[in-house]
Amino acid sequence: MVDVQSQKDHRNIDIKKVGVKGIKYPIIVLDQANGTQHVNATINMYVDLPHHFKGTHMSRFVEILNDYRGQINIKTFRKILEKVKEKLAAESAHMEIEFPYFIEKTAPVSRAKSLMEYRCRFCGENNGGEYDFLLGITVPVTTVCPCSKEVSDMGAHNQRSIVNLKLRFKKFFWIEDVIRLVEASASGEVYSLLKRADEKYVTEKGYQNPMFVEDVVRSVAENLNKDDNYTWYSVEAENFESIHNHSAYAYVEKNGVQIS
């Protein structure tokens, strides 16, 4: 049959990334408490396409995933990218894997147990033989406004916040340890299940530890800086304000000075 994708294209325009998005695929990730965790991931895969080719072979991406069925993880990520480059005759290959990660959390007073979901991402590329890999984690937390606490006679406004973290690292670490680090850097944690005694504890603990969005990103960065395993990071926090019609936002990265 005619290979249309390999036919010539005469517009003289290179494509930086072309491939498939939104592949739903089961993967296995390491779990600190249980050894492994089976999760349903969403995978994006791309290669570069020189200007003289009309298209890439989309089916080959899925074929490669099937070759690594049950073995898709941080350790095989680099091998998969090399296979993608080889099979699609590409100079660069990129892959993004996003998945829910569940941790059993214990309520602070009642000790009730429940599963808490965190969103995680593996992002990597092999570009001309140079390999780069990032781990991303999204952690929900709570913040109490220091200004509101200072000026109010009763109470202070608080909100749920999202911290997005990206990491480059030298050696293996547990996702759970980084999640705990982020949660400890905010006013309080988010839980799936709380009894009344827990709500009282969580609310009062947050009130005693008010933080602006700037405080959160700086605290996370300060804690990450204590471990030289993290060669680079970016931290962004968004507070979904409870009394304003907008969010508060801050961003910081290693070796940078940007706070916004």
- Can you tell me the mean pLDDT for 153-165? 93
Confidence of residue 54 (pLDDT cuts 50, 70, 90): low
Residue 227: phi, psi to the nearest 5? -120, 115
Q: What is the pLDDT of residues 11-33, one digit of tens each?
A: 667 788 899 999 999 998 989 99
Contact 166, 256 (CB under 8 A): no
Strands (E), the chain: 15-31, 35-49, 92-106, 113-127, 130-144, 158-169, 188-189, 230-240, 247-253
Distance linking the first and last C-alpha atoms of the chain: 56
Q: What is the pLDDT of residues 180-213, one digit of tens each?
A: 999 999 999 999 999 999 999 999 999 999 999 9
Domain boundaries, the chain: 8-253
Topology, domain 8-253: Urate Oxidase (3.10.270)
pTM greater than 0.75: yes
